[in-house]
Amino acid sequence: MTVILFDIVYFKMLYLIGGENVYLSTKRLDELKDEFVDRFDGIIQIYDADEVENHNEIFRDAETLTLFSKERLIIIKRLFSTGIKLVDKFYQYLDSAKDSNIVFWEDGKVDKRLKLYKLLKKKGVVEEFDKLKYVQLKSWLSKLFCGKCKCDPGCIESLILKVGDDQMQLSLIASNLITLVEAEGKDRLTIEDIDKFVEKTAEESIWEFIDALSEQNRAKALNIIERLLRESRDFVMLIGMIARQFRILAMIKQCLKVGKNQSEIIQALHLHPFVVRKAVLHSRNFSLNEIRKLYLKLVKTDLVVKEGRFDEKLALDLLIAAL
């Protein structure tokens, strides 16, 4: 069981929980809530900072005793994203307040330069959770399936490539896949199951589009890009996403040309390992010159639509025909 730390001079309980790994930060928040209830049998009040009209209510609630003097835990979500004025108000309050139980929860990184952050670091406990590295993520995901469902070789890697490093999403999908295997009476999960039941992301579809281009399969390429446009309904964003993939391909092709390995590419380009692994595979299908030409055609397509010379459908048809 997690042990809650106390500052006997200022606070009974003061925490800041944050970081880019929302799955782990949410799990940690739940642990703190359970520990508070077990320890004090108290009352928990949760506020979303950007939805509270009068923030003085939070200060009053933090100081007000409840019926029969039950302990009260105040949880404040997303305070640091509401603006510096409100953050400073909480700094002023906490700098003089005593004997309160307050947990701040953020779904991202917190600016360490802020006075409130420094105060929380000094008087309370700050815990920040980073996203797992690829090897850690594989190990964690394997444990979710362990004892519940056997997996064919490559299933864990395939699922990560499809979903990415969002542990919340991976956890939900893993649970659904385990239920699927049990319901169908299978003895194991296959890559075919994942392909069939896990929805493709826009990024994965764009890689398929690039594959179709490398195979000179214009019909398939057009089908994919039209489907993506129907789903996103944002031509500019879609062309921007495809152009980004070609920029990544060009950079990685250049890195490979000078002898860099995948670890060195990740460090040099500051890209996620999943992106680099995928791009290295696809870069083998194009020369650097071909990538540059395709990128320029995408830029021109974007330009003619923005200038109103062609509508989106016609521009896409002309783009595919020219590739």
Rounded to whole angstroms, how far apart are CA atoms 219 and 5? 62
**CA separation for the pair 116, 118 (Å, rounded):** 5
- Check residue 212 and give its pLDDT: 85
pLDDT over 90 percentage in the chain: 30
10 band by pLDDT with thresholds 50, 70 and 90: very low
Which residues make beta-bridge pairs with 189?
151
Q: Are 222 and 321 in contact (CB under 8 A)?
A: no
- Residue 45, token pair as written in the block: 């009040």
pLDDT of residue 127: 96
Q: CA nearest 27: which of 189, 176, 235, 167? A: 167
Pairwise pLDDT comparison (175 vs 195), residue with the higher score: 175
So what's the pLDDT on residue 99? 66
Distance of CA 233 to CAs 55, 90, 228, 298, Å? 39, 41, 8, 17
Q: Check: CB of residue 93 under 8 Å from CB of residue 59.
A: yes
Could you report the per-residue pLDDT of 282-319, keeping only the tens digit for each?
A: 888 888 888 888 888 888 888 888 888 888 778 877 87
Confidence of residue 144 (pLDDT cuts 50, 70, 90): very high
Exposure string of 205-217, with b = 16+ CB inside 10 Å and e = fewer, is bbbbbbbbbeeee
CB contact at 8 A, 23 and 171: yes
Could you tell me the pTM of the whole model? 0.69
Which tens digit of pLDDT belongs to each residue from 25-54?
999 999 999 988 888 777 888 999 888 777
Q: Is the pLDDT of residue 5 over 70?
A: no
Dig out the tokens for 60 from the structure. 């009053």
Per-residue b or e along 82-97, where b marks 16 or more CB atoms closer than 10 Å to that residue's CB: beeebbebbbebbeeb
Please tell me which residue, 96 or 137, carries the higher pLDDT value: 137
As a 3-state breakdown, the chain gives helix, strand, coil percent values, each rounded to 5, of: 65, 10, 25
Q: Residue 81's pLDDT is what?
A: 86
Question: Which residue, among 174, 165, 129, has the nearest Cα to 274 in the 3D structure?
Answer: 165
- Enter the DSSP assignment of 323: -
* Separation of alpha carbons 137 and 166, rounded Å: 10
Tell me what pLDDT residue 68 has: 47
Joined tokens for residue 111: 């600016």
pLDDT average, residue stretch 243-270: 89
The DSSP element (H or E) to which 47 belongs, if any, is: strand 43-48
Encode pLDDT of 196-251 as tens digits.
888 877 777 888 888 888 888 888 888 888 888 887 767 778 888 888 888 999 99
The answer to whether 318 touches 310, Cβ cutoff 8 Å, is yes
pLDDT band, very low/low/confident/very high, at 64 (cuts 50, 70, 90) = low
Task: Using pLDDT thresholds of 50, 70 and 90, give the confidence band for residue 16.
Answer: very high
**Which of 114-118, 184-188, 318-322 bottoms out in mean pLDDT, i.e. has the lowest?**
318-322
The contacts found for 276-280 with CB under 8 angstroms, 24 or more apart, are: 276/252, 277/161, 278/161, 278/207, 279/245, 279/248, 279/249, 279/252, 280/252, 280/256
Position 233 scores a pLDDT of 67
Q: How far is CA 289 from the centre of its chain?
A: 33
Average pLDDT, rounded, for the chain: 84
Question: What is the C-alpha separation between 224 and 284, in angstroms, rounded?
Answer: 21
Q: CA-to-CA distance for 25 and 106, rounded, in angstroms?
A: 8
The answer to whether the CB of 124 falls within 8 A of the CB of 15 is: yes
Domains of the chain, earliest start first? 13-128 (3.40.50.300), 134-197 (1.10.8), 202-322 (1.20.272.10)
Task: DSSP letter for 3, please.
Answer: P
